[in-house]
Every structure is written in structure tokens, then in C-alpha cells.
Structure 1
Amino acid sequence: MITHMIRNSIFILACVIMTTACQPTPKKQSTPTPSGITEATVADAVKEISNKMEGNKSDLIEKGVRHAASLWRDNDGTSEDFVKFCSENYLADPAQKEASFYRFAEYLESLNGHFNKLSLDMQENVQLMKGEVLPIDAQFAAYNPGAHMINDFYDNKIAFIVALNFPYYTTEEKNISGANWTPLQWGYARLGDVFSSRVPSELIQQASKVAAEGDAYIADYNIYMGNILNDDNQKLFPENMVLLSHWNLRDEIKANYANKEVGLKKQALIYQIMQRIVDQSIPKMVINSGKQDWNPATNEVFVSGTKTEAEPEIDGRYQQILNNFHVYQAFDKYEPAMPTAIQRAFSVGMQIPQPEVQKLFNEFLSSAQVKEVAEIIKKRLGRDLSPWDIWYDGFKARSSINEESLNAITEKKYPNAKALEADLGNILLKLGFTKEKADFISSRVSVDPARGSGHAWGASMKAEKAHLRTRIPATGMNYKGYNIAVHEFGHNVEQTISLNNVPNYMINGVPNTAFTEALAFVFQERDLFLLNMKNTDPEKEYLKTLDIFWSVYEIMGVSMVDMKMWQWLYDNPNSTASDLRDAVIEISKDVWNTYYAPVFGMKDQTILGIYSHMINSPMYLPNYAFGHLIHFQLEEHFKTHEFAPEVLRIFALGQLTPNEWMKQAVGEPLSNEAILKATEIAVGKLK
């Protein structure tokens, strides 16, 4: 598992919060809509259109009229104005409707693409290594150039033309009807998704500001490992090692499984740091600072060898989460059919209802295979499990290779971002892409040196490039950065294919972000192969299965904490940051005690609350879990199908519903079944 939420731009994020909070088509009702558009008015509009049409398609007319009525407000006009608008703007001629659809797509690609580019420019100084971050940089990063666009389209009635002619379909409707839709019909449905709710522009701008603040908070949450002391006042880490929470801390735990001398001691120290971050007892002065030494076990801080008083961070972490909650909650009253951020994130954003997600996770976390895999890990480690072994990395081929030797390879190969960018085409050639396709994709990806952890930022128009961000120290790209970069390049490949190769712009992308995570995991799995390091282990396929299984086990628990935290927030909307901190600690312990204590043999661990996504990527974590499941099913598919051509085919399917995408991609729906069965076989072979 890896790094960072895929976030095209603050503009796109804000619009996703708004446009994915979609309202199902209103049912017939006797009460008026908020605008005063009554049943009688709706009937009049439907009749007016039907009288002008040959081959009356009354159901489709009514669906469009009702959708437009659900968005109409008093200041948009009277009931008579509404009927007249519908009559004059309904596209009855199929040829004209199709031509208008492609024109809408053309305009939206330009708008989305340029606003995306503007947001990239506004955030560049905060996100990239471009020298000192000035106060004005943060203010521009928080600015959303496209905050008013959607509401402008309601004011000039463009939104109502779309709503009337391309009405919104619920996820349930898409699941039922979508199996028989053509790409054009899918495009019509996705255009209908764009104008499905109506949120004030100032609220969209506020969401952008809060998101930017969360990003900035996380981007500077570095721990100077060269200043960390153990109980013997020893410094075990290199003097110049700086690790970002949580990603780099977690990856350093993974890297030390190959260190037989002091690896276990290093892992224990990192775990203590993580516990301090979760409970907020971490001294504020040691965050992003190397001016003092810190013993995380005793929580003592020393300046020039002298112990000094140091105030804890207290609740900075949880205040960021509360800020997100409050702005997301403010959207609720504008989303009567999906009145919580939880419903919008899952039922619409992921297109899978949250109770179904939780049920799937519970099924996996409670499976008998967990204990069987844990026993294999214990045997391989030669010790009982420690809490940080949720990140056990020993099933990978790289786990037996000392990371310093890997660093030497990657630092020489990629001294800077330009060297990596120049090699992207070669990476694709090694993976089996033709030179034509390799050149096409690599020419549309720009590599940038990131200030924070790595992430991928896709383009929103064909004329722009996707961006790959990863940390590259002055000494060159270390293995951690390289591993992240390969993952993020997988995102860029998906972003490029699903933008440029889909049948029409409105279905560009994938069903949800789990699907882009899946391809990123597929690429990351091949990182050593790309360094010409072949794995000749005859058990490698079984080990790969167990590696994916254990990754799913870890991230599903983390996702459970994230979901339960949001449920708690809605149950306790007036909570303080301290209240939230205490709640997250208890939730983390509860999830641990339910799914991990029976396996690890210890209770009340808080490690599942460490993920930075909880702060700057609300409810994103479940996408990683689904990403691993999709990753596994893709890998099984690639065993019998040629890799590169299938990647090109599969990721050009576009934004279907998750199950429809999986059926067309690999021939079966998304489930736990495939990985659980394969894990049972792998356990039997490796025992």
C-alpha cells in the first residue's frame, strides 16, 4: 500500500464533494419542491413537451422534467417560466441531442482542464520543492478558481438544460440498466451526474480552503530520525533521515525487516513515535525540526544534551479532522437525498453503500485465513508478532535485500526528477507496451520533486499532462521514493489511458478511486523487475498472494477506524478536538481488539489510527482496500492474458459502475472470494 490520495485539484475535489452528492430522481409526490414547482406544474411541463413530440417517450420526458424541477429555485423563475423553459429547451430530436452532448463534453473538458491547470499552478509552491514556503503561497493554494462555475451554470440556465435532457440516474438504476447501455448512453448518464445538486459557491470555496490546510499540515509533518534516541540514548537512524508521517514512517518499518542487526529495535522506536502521534502526546517542537533530540519512549526532549520542557501537540491532528467534518456537514442540507458525507462518499462516490462496504470488510477480517497467514509470518520472523507487523513486508522479494543496496541502484539511476521522466518510456517498454504506446503515455506525464509524500495528479483535458510527484533528495532518489514513484506512475498510466482512450469525454476515468489504486499496485508489484532484478523463487506466486492478503488485512482495519470515526462524528457533531482524539483512540482499540488481538495476542493497540489520510483525504482509505481486491483479480487475469494490451483495453472502459467494470474487465464481479480461495491454497503450499 502506498502514499497519497489521487487528487486532480482542489477544484475537482470541491466539485466532487458537490456533484457526487447526487439526488435520486424525485418520486411522485403531493408536496411541492423547495422552489414551489408542484405536481401540477411538472405534469404541465411533461404534457407541453409530449404534445410537440412524435413517438412520445413520456417516461424519459418526465424523468428529465422532475430532475430539473428538483434543482429549480424561486429566483430561477415562476412555475409558468419553468414550463416554458422545459418546452423550449427539450431536445426531442435524437440527432440534435447527440450533437449537443458532444458539444457539452467539449466545453466541460476545456473548463475542467483549465481549472485543473490553474489549481496546479496555485498549489505548486506548496506541493513542490521550490524553496521556502511563504505565507502568501498557502493562501493561493487554498483558493479555488472554479468555485463559482457550477452555480454560474444554474444562473445562466445551462445546468437546467443538461438536467432536463440528460437526467441523473442513481447508482441502483445504473447497476440495473447500465449492463445494456452503449458508451454513448453511459456518457449521457455521466453528463447527468454533473448537475445533480446545488451547493453555494462560498461553501465550495471553504471546502477548498480546508482541504489545502489539511494538505499543508500533513506535508510538513516530518520526523527527524537522526535525532531520535532509544532507551540507551543511542541514535539508530542516519543523521540526515527525515520521514514524513505516516507514509515514510510505515515504509521505514517495512524496510527494516531485512536488517537483522538493529531492525527490530528501529521498528519498535518508530512504533512508539506513531503512538505519540495518535494520542497527540508528541512534543510539538520535534515536528518538522531537527534542533533537538527526542526519546519517544520517555517522551523527553534534549537541546544540546540538556533536558528541556516540551509541550505536546495536544489536538492539532484532530482539529484538522473536525475542520473537514464541519465543512462536509455544511453540504448536508443541500443534499436531501444523501444527507450525510458518509452516504455521499460511499453510495455515490464509491458507488457502493457504506453498510455493504463494512459487511465485506468484516467478512474478510474475520476469515479463518488471517490466523493461518499470521502463523506463517511468525515462523518466518522467528518471534511472536508485534503490533507493527500489520506492515510485515517479508513476502516481497525485496524484503531479503538490504535497502542500502537498493538505494545505491536507484540513486545512481535517478539523480533527479528529469532522469525519472526520461526513463518512463523505457519502463513501459519493459512492461510490454509497444514503442508507440510507451511514447504516447510517457509524453503525457511530467515528473515533479514533491515537498510532501508522493502522489499522482491527473490531467482533466487531453491537451495537458498528468503529474507524478515523489520525494527526491539531493543524493538522488532512494528506494522508498522509487517504490512510491512506480506506484504513482501506475496512477498516471491509468489517468492517461482513461482520459485519452475512452469512447467519450464524459465517461473518462474509472468507477471510483479504488480502480486507479489497483493499477498503481500492479505497477508497484513490478518495481524490482523494472530494476532488472528477477525473482526466481518457485514459490513467488504463493508469496505474492499472501503479500496482497496481508495488505488487505491491514488496510481494512484502518478503513474500519476511518468509517467508525465518521459515524461517531455524525453522532457527536458538537464534539471538540479533544473529544475526537479520545474517541479515535477508543475506536482504534475496539477495532484492534475485534480483528487483531486474537491474532497478535495483545489488546488495546492504537496503531490503526495513524494514517494521514484521515486528515487530508476523508473516507478515502476504503478505496485502498478495494484497490487491493481489484489488484488481486487483475493479477489473476494477467496470468492468462497479455499484460500491456489488457491494461490498455481495461482502463479504456471508462466510468461504469464497479461491478459492470469488473465484469467487462476480468469477467467476474468484485468480491473477497477470489483472494480467500487463493490464500487457502497458498497457505497449504507454504506450510
Structure 2
Amino acid sequence: MKKLLLFVCTALFFTACQPNETPTTKTASVEKSNIDKTTVDATISALKAKFPKADESLLIRGVKHVANLWTEADGSSEVFKAFCEENYVSDKDERELVFNKISRNIEIITGYFNKITLDLLEPVHLNTFEQHPIDNQFGAYSVDAHWQDDFYKNKIAFTIALNFPPFSLEEKEAMAGKWSRQEWAYARLGDYFTARVPAELLQNAGKAAAESDVYIADYNIYVGHLTDANNKRFFPEDKVLLSHWNLRDEIKANYANSVDGLEKQKIIYQVMQRIISQEIPEKVINSGEYEWDPYANVVYQNGNTVEATPEPNERYQQILNNFHANKAIDPYYPDQNTFIKRQYAGAKEISHENTEKIFTDFLRSEETKKVGELIKKRLGRDLQPFDIWYDGFKARSGMDESKLDAKTRRLYPNAPALEADLGNLLMKLGYNKDRAKFLSDHIAVDPARGSGHAWGGAKKGQKAHLRTRIGAKGMDYKGYNIAVHEFGHNVEQTISLYDVDYFMLNGVPNTAFTEALAFIFQKRDMMLLDINDDSPEKDALKKLDLFWSAYEIMGVSVLDIRVWKWLYANPDANAAQLRDATMRIAKEIWNEFYAPVYGMKDQTILAVYSHMLNSPLYLSNYAFGNLIEFQLEQQLKGKSFPNEVDRIFKQGRLTPNQWMIEATGNKLSSQPLIQAASEALKKLAN
């Protein structure tokens, strides 16, 4: 998963991943603009007279935008008018000069904030540090929380807002194919100052985000201590799996295990259900001191039953903390006045209504039932709820994972070994030696305490960080598979920082686009291990694998959205009420979109995802990433992989549809993947 930084390129993104304290009366005291229409009209008239050759539409847009942001603390109406007259830049060359200076300075500011944040979080994220609660306190500190507030006070924000005003998503879409690269960069600068959120609220948001990260990073299950009613153990005693990522991956790994794979999958599924319902005994979380039978939900120590109280709904309290912190920010956004709107129409630039429609149309497609029937046939049994993670379409699915573990541990005993091999991996993907060296030289590998993530640089000269879990015995296959995914993020982060022509355009339209490249890399993990699949069915199976992955994550994404809708409808709910609502909504989504395929109702498995806690409303990025991945893979066919990847990701941060049009010639859509699945099914039937 790409780590969302606490400071990002727009005020919209400041609310993209934070949260904590309950709303206070501060939300009722949002300071309103003290500039009336008469003052705005007089200012516009004065500027038009002073700069008769100025672009009138931009001039009017800039004045009106500054007026919306200006408050009594910034000065009187007279001060406002004088400020606009003194700071408006009408000359084209001077505007370009000012833009370049602003770009340089924002890169410096955000770049060093990025480095400070990254360094402060090392003791929280890396397993090379001895942990202490003080680390979490520093990790929760948002060093960047005040800079935009400061820019309003020193009026730099107003200078930017006046000369580089923002455009709505609808306006960007309308102008997408007409704007020059410079005009796009100017528009992206306009995204920086769209709302005036108090630094204190951003700080609270950052604190809660860090606390959620800590909660998730330490949510390990000692599966070597799981037993059934007959006191049978299924895993090595020292095996520890992080929820939900490693638990899910263990289910995937056991499709190749014909001995006791199904039993292992069932016991892990039972663990997941206990986590979702919060019936999991608190003392078995991140502890190997006890044995636990998740079926009967009984805990043992030294063969004796011991008392065990359930986890006190902490999972759902984390979600509430996120909700309250972001809801406190709502009043500062007149148009995008909910976190849902800011995340979708704002950060993703795809509305949540359109997102739900795209996903539910996909989930209702007849191909889901047909692919489900094929999986049932391949498994030789009825589908189980955990088969949302069916992994049998992949080349590795028939391989003994212990042999893969042995190979990856030999290759990557530690983080430096993986870092040293990145250039070689890129050359296997087709990059020449010089380009592979450039990219790999800008990526550092760190041993993660949690599942891992990719954290990009924010200033030229900074490296992207690949953080992945590496055990004492070296990197097992699961860790390697995740590392290759994060490596894809790092390559995107490096290209879209160093090779994009304007800093203001650095990055991608939204996180789904970096997820797409991460998926593309991850699907090539076996090839990078020099294990190739020459099966004539390979192409069809890849399409079905991607289709089934999209089917899984789209349902989870819809759950994420609907839980947040429920929160807004029930803002005073407690953790227990949220737990019950989440489980109910998960069952409703399952019954509508999965029960027709699986033949069973009322399953809650969609609610197991840890992202709902520490990365609220993030999951849609994976679903969109699957769709983007497929369209990009089609574009890559028969072409140079490195040349196309470089060309596509040098585009930077356009709107999603425009980026896709320039990358592939087509808009973002789920139909190509549905059609591909249909064709793949026909091919396999012949």
C-alpha cells in the first residue's frame, strides 16, 4: 500500500488519511469571510482598469476566491482591495516567474516536512528500533500541520489564490484536453489553497492517523498457537501473522496445500470472524503466551482453560476516531463538506456516487457467477466465503510455498540484500543498465514492523522508501510478494517526481494509479524469481485472476463507503453500535452481490480489512487500481515495458480520465475487464 503522507499537495488531501478527537464547539465557530459583493465588484473593476489586457475570467475568479478565504483577522475591506491591487500579476512572463518561484519554495517546504515525518516515524514503522510509547507520541506529531495556516497569516496563500485560483472537477474535465502542460500546472497550484482549516484540527487528525497505524502494526495473531477442539495445531509454533494482510495471504498460500490446506483456511477464517465481531480474546492479540481455539473461542495456558475477555470494540473505536476528526473539518469546506466528498470528488476526482455505480455494476455482472462456477469446479468443492481470495489462477498457486520461502530467504536475508538487487530486478523487466541504476539509486529498502508500505520522496534529491516485513530467517515469499508490490509504487514515485516537467504536476491523478503500477509489478513477481509460466492458458488465467481480485475488493470498497454514510447519519454512535452496523452492512452487501455466487448468506468477511481503520476510504484505490491495471496491461502488450511505463507515468497529476486517455486512448472503465473475463471463460471452455 502506498503510504499517504500527512502533508500533501492540496488542502483536500490534508483530510485524506487523518483523525482523532470528538468534535468540539470549534466546528460551530467557523470564521466567515468579511468581504461583501460590493467590495468584490469594486476590486474587480479597479483591477480591470489597472490591467486592461489581463485575462478577465482569471482575474474575476482570483478575486472572488480570495474574498471567500479572507476573514476579519486578515484586514478590512479596504485592506483586501489594496492587497489585490498590489499583488495581482497580469504580465504573462512575470506570472511564469512567480509560478516557478512558488513551485521551488513549496517543493522545499513539503520536501523537508516529508523527511522529518519519515524520520520521526522510523521507530514506529521499522523493526530495527526498540519500541517505547514516546516513539508513538513523536510519530503522531504532524510537523506540517501549521504551514498552510502560516501562509494565510503571512498572506502568501492569498497571493497564490489570487493569481492561481482553483478550478472545479467539472471545469478540469471540460478543459482537460485543451490546457497546455503549463496551464495544468497552474491549475494544480490552485488546488493548494481551497479551504482554510485550522492547524489544530489537522494536528488532531495526524495524531489519530498515527495511533491507528500503531494499533494495526501490532495486531498480530500467533497462529502457531491456534488449536481446534481436538487440540490439533496447524502451523509452526513460531508463525505469526499480521491482521488482515498476512492472514489473507496465508489463506491464499494454502490453495496449493492438498494435505491440510482447507483446514488451515477454515481456522484462519474463524479468526477473522472473531476479529470482526470483536469476540477475539484480548489476551491473544500480539501474544504467544496462550493457546486459542477460535471455533469455541476458548483460551488455554499450560493445558488449562483461562478466563479471557473480548477486545473492547477497539477496532471500531479507531474508525470512530477517524470519523470525528474529519467531521470536525467539514464546516471549512463549503462544497466538499463531508470527508466522503473530499476523498472522492476531491482527492480521487471521482465522485462517490459514480464510484459506487461503477463498482456495483461490476458486482452485478453475470461474469461473477460464471467465474465462481469455474473456481468451484477447479477446487472440487462448494465455495467458501474466504474464496474471495482464491489464488488458483496464478502461476504460483500450484507451487509449494515452502520452496518459494527458501528461495526468497536465500536471495534476501535482509533489507540491504533486497536494496542491492533492485537494479537487477528492473533489468529483468527490460530497463537498460543506466535507467535501472537511476531508478534503483532513488529507492531505499527498510525492514518494516507492520506489513509494509511505500513512501515516496517529496523533493528532488530524496529517495522513495520501500518498507517491507523481513523475518529473522530472511524474507519469506509473502514478504517478497508484498515487497514487489511496494517496489512498483516506488518506481512510480520516482518517475512522477523526477521526470514530470512541472513540480506542481508531480505524482498521479490519485492513489489508484500508483496502485495500478504496483499491481503490474506484483503480477511479475515469479518472473523476477526466474520462474516462468509458459502455459497456453496463461493469458486467460491472468484476466480471470484480475477479474476475481476486482470482484473481491469492489465489495469491500462499497462497504467502506456505506459505513461512512452510516456514520454521517449516526454521528453520535458508539463503538458497539458501529460494530453492529458494520456487520449488518457487510451482510447486506454480501447477500446482494456475493450470495448469488457463493450460495450462502449473511457473511461478514468483507469487514476484516485493516484499511478501514488506518486508511479510511482508501480501499477504492485498489478497486480502481485493478481497472487501471487491466487497461495499462493491454497498452503494454507488444511494446517496450520500460518505455511505456516511463511515458505513461511522466504525465503527472492530470484528471483520471484525461490521464487514461493519454496513456491508453480510452477513459477509465470497468467494461474492458468484464469483457476480457467473458472472453477468457470462452477460451478455457474450448
Q: TM-score range by the shorter chain?
A: over 0.9
Aligned match of 1:503: 501
Matched, 1:141 2:128: no
Residue 596 of structure 1 corresponds to 594
Amino acid at match of 2:641: F
Q: Which residue of 2 aligns with 1:350?
A: 348
Deviations 1:299-354 (A, max 9, x none): 00001111001000031000000000000000001111111000111001110111
Determine the C-alpha separation between the residues in 1 that align with 2:110 and 2:12: 12
- Is residue 516–residue 628 contact of structure 2 (8 Å, CA) maintained in 1? yes
* 2:603 maps to 1:618: no
The whole-number CA distance in structure 2 between the counterparts of 1:272 and 1:620 is 25
- Is 1:10 aligned to residue 32 of structure 2? no
Alignment of 1:252-291 (within 5 A): 252-291=250-289
Please say if residues 166 and 189 of structure 1, whose CA atoms lie closer than 8 Å, have aligned partners that are also in contact: yes
Q: 1:318 & 1:336 partners in 2: Cα distance?
A: 29
- In 1, Cα distance between the equivalents of 2:670 and 2:194? 32
Confirm whether residue 684 of structure 1 aligns to residue 682 of structure 2: yes
Pairwise CA distance, 1:15: 5.2
Is the 1:12–1:116 Cα contact (8 Å) retained in structure 2?
Answer: no
The aligned counterpart of 1:49 is 47
Q: Distance in 2 between matches of 1:299 and 1:139?
A: 34
Structure 2 SS opposite 1:456: strand
| Aligned position for 1:26 | none
Q: How does 1:29-178 map to 2 (within 5 A)?
A: 34-178=32-176
Shift in Å at residue 146 of structure 1? 1.1
Q: Which moved more, 1:251-260 or 1:9-18?
A: 9-18
In the TM superposition, 1:589-668 aligns within 5 A as: 589-668=587-666
Amino acid paired to 1:538: P
- C-alpha displacement of 1:19: 7.5
* 1:645 alignment partner AA: N
Q: In the TM superposition, what is the alpha-carbon distance from 1:358 to its structure 2 partner?
A: 0.4
What SS is found at the alignment partner of 1:467?
Answer: strand
Displacement of 1:640 = 3.1
Query: How far apart in 2 are the matches of 1:426 and 1:464?
Result: 21
Structure 1 residues 211 and 15, CA gap change in structure 2 (3 angstroms): farther
- 1:560 aligned residue: 558
Displacement of 1:14: 9.7
Pairing partner for 2:237 from 213, 236, 239: 239
Distance in 2 of aligned mates of 1:174 and 1:131: 46
2:355 and 2:14 mapped to 1: Cα distance? Answer: 22
**How far apart, CA to CA, are the structure 2 residues paired with 1:52 and 1:314?**
66
Q: Which residue of 2 aligns with 1:224?
A: 222
Residue 410 of structure 1 is matched in structure 2 by: 408
Assess if the C-alpha contact under 8 Å between 2:7 and 2:13 holds in 1. Answer: no
Q: Residue 34 of structure 1: CA displacement?
A: 2.5
CA displacement, residues 632-655 of structure 1 (integer Å, 9 cap, x when unaligned): 001111113221100001001000
8 Å CA contact 2:559, 2:586 repeated in 1: yes
Counterparts of 2:133 and 2:453, CA distance in 1 = 23
Identity over the aligned pairs, expressed in percent?
55
Alignment match, 2:28: none
Matches of residues 275-674 of structure 1 in structure 2 within 5 Å? 275-674=273-672
Give the equivalent residue in structure 1 for 2:20. Answer: none
Equivalent position amino acid for 1:518 in 2: A
Quickly say closer, same or farther: Cα 1:448–1:20, change in 2 above 3 A. Answer: closer
CA contact (8 A) 1:444 1:496 kept: yes
1:14–1:208 contact (8 Å) kept in structure 2: no
Structure 2 distance, partners of 1:269, 1:482, is 24
SS of the counterpart of 2:393? Answer: coil
CA distance in 2 between counterparts of 1:34 and 1:275 reads 48
RMSD: 1.2
Distance in structure 2 (CA, Å) of the matches to 1:666 and 1:10: 31
Give, in angstroms, the shift of residue 12 of structure 1.
Answer: 3.7
Alignment correspondent of 1:183: 181
User: Structure 2 regions of 5+ residues with no counterpart?
Assistant: 18-30
Residue equivalent to 2:22: none
Q: 1:186 to 1:296 in 2, by over 3 A?
A: same
Q: Displacement of 1:20 after TM fit?
A: 7.6
Instruction: Give 1:27's aligned residue.
Output: none
Residue 28 of structure 1 corresponds to none
Whole-Å Cα distance in 1 between the matches of residues 182 and 8 of structure 2?
23
Using the TM superposition, give the Cα deviation of residue 58 of structure 1 relative to its aligned residue in structure 2, in angstroms. 1.7
**CA distance, structure 2, for counterparts of residue 18 and residue 476 of structure 1:** 37
> Are the aligned partners of 1:413 and 1:419 in contact in 2 as well (CA < 8 Å)?
yes
Task: Describe the SS at the equivalent of 1:180.
Answer: coil
Partners of 2:554 and 2:623 within 8 A in 1 = yes
CA displacement 1:432-462 (0-9 Å, x = unmatched) = 1111111111000000000001100000001
SS in structure 2 at match of 1:469: strand
SS in 2 for 1:331: helix
Cα drift, residue 238 of structure 1: 1.0
Task: Supply the AA of the counterpart residue of 1:188.
Answer: Y
CA distance in 1, matches of 2:65, 2:175: 18
Q: How far did 1:496 drift? A: 0.2
Question: Helix, strand or coil: the match of 2:121?
Answer: helix
Structure 2 residue identity aligned to 1:173? E
Relative to structure 2, which stretch is displaced further, 49-58 or 150-159? 49-58
After superposition, the C-alpha distances for 1:403-431 in whole angstroms (9 at most, x for unaligned) are 00100110000000000000000010010
**Preserved contact between residue 8 and residue 14 of structure 2 (Cα < 8 Å):** no
Query: CA shift at 1:544, angstroms?
Result: 0.1
2:444 alignment partner, SS class: strand
Residue number in structure 1 paired with 2:25: none
Q: What TM-score, normalized by structure 1, do the two folds share? A: 0.97
Shift of 1:555: 0.2
Contact 1:199 1:331 survives alignment (8 Å): yes
Provide the C-alpha distance between the structure 2 equivalents of 1:386 and 1:200, rounded to a whole number of angstroms.
48
| TM-score between the two structures when normalised by the length of structure 2 | 0.97
The one-letter code matched in structure 2 to 1:168 is P
For the Cα contact (< 8 Å) 1:294–1:300, is it kept in 2? Answer: yes
Q: Secondary structure at the match of 1:179?
A: coil
Alpha-carbon distance between aligned partners in 2 of 1:499 and 1:132, rounded to the nearest angstrom: 33
